[in-house]
Amino acid sequence: MKSISHQAHQPIDRNILSGMLSYLAADCEREQWVRVLMAIKSEFGDTAKELAREWSATATNYKPKDFAYTWKSIKPKGAVSIATLVRLAVENGYKFAPMTDADKKRLAYESQQRKEQQIKAQAEEMQRLDNQYKRVSEQAYQILKHATPALDNHPYLIRKGIASHGVLFGSVMTYQNALIVPMYGSDGAMAGEVQTLQFIQPDGTKRFLAGGKKTGGYYPIQWIDGAPIVICEGFATGATLAEHYTPFSSVVCAFDAGNLLPVAKAFKRHYPMTQIIIAGDNDHLDKESNPTAFNTGRFKAIEAAKAIDALISIPEFDPLEVGSDWNDRYHLDQQNQVLEDYEQTLLEGDA
């Protein structure tokens, strides 16, 4: 007997989908929750977004922003099809109601129409994004023409205790006295080109040039031909790694946790024989210094490392230590060393 995931199931519409979801608990592992959303979007696109949101909202840990972000990040034609949701529902007791041949034909036709509409919409969206990304890239190059090399006395660099590593400086639009970090493309038409820019203001506020492509974008903190490649999230983290932890390795920053995977895959394709290390963040505390329910930095770093069979290095923190990345770890270690040295001086006295 074939499994539900491989055998043909009768066509479904949103009413049938609603019935299936009633057999699935939204209070499940995050991975399964995401897979259910992927299955819904693969079949119905945004037409079933509200239905997916209502089902997700039945979970005790439901967060509207998390749902909105996750739904937006799911591609309509991803790796998970509606068959996955059907299988889960059937395994949990759902049974298809009897259906006439006419209803089956109607639903099959509606399903085919949805697929054709999605294909057309995806093609139009891809073209729109390509045009938008080109415009933003051209804007980025114009900004770089008027930028100057950043000096090591920039307030952000002083606070982080790092050098400028080739980033630029300027005042652009609302970004005053900002560091300007180019984001280079790693694949496709944008490979080697500036996709967009990151602006880091003196107080540490970070913003990207609006509308630019982020996926697969990176900035090389330092490059040493033939050396291992360390991939991290932020610029300050990468600079700290290059200066103190991995001075003999190439270091590139991917800008955020969600971009670690595409950057890691791109570098693996370009340098298949080179050792790659994912230096992830450890988001063990939230903004209020409470333990996080989901450690995004650690999860995304492990995901990227597993995908390309890379090594992984994540800074560890005591439960009450405030910090998440290698720059935080370095400064905490420096403070601890100063305290140890001071304590030793007190113990030794004037001897």
Half-sphere exposure of 322 (CA within 13 A, CB side): 5
Nearest to 297 by CA among 321, 274, 318, 280: 280
Residues of the chain with pLDDT under 70: 1-9, 338-340, 342-351
Q: What is the pTM of this model?
A: 0.73
pLDDT for 1 equals 35
Domain positions in the chain are 14-99, 218-351
pLDDT digits (tens, 9 = 90+) for 32-57: 999 999 999 988 888 899 999 999 99
CATH architecture assignment, domain 218-351: 3-Layer(aba) Sandwich (3.40)
For residue 162, the model assigns a pLDDT of 97
| pLDDT at residue number 77 | 72
β-sheet with 276-279: strand ranges across: 219-222, 250-253, 229-232, 276-279, 311-313
Gap between the terminal Cα atoms of the chain: 85
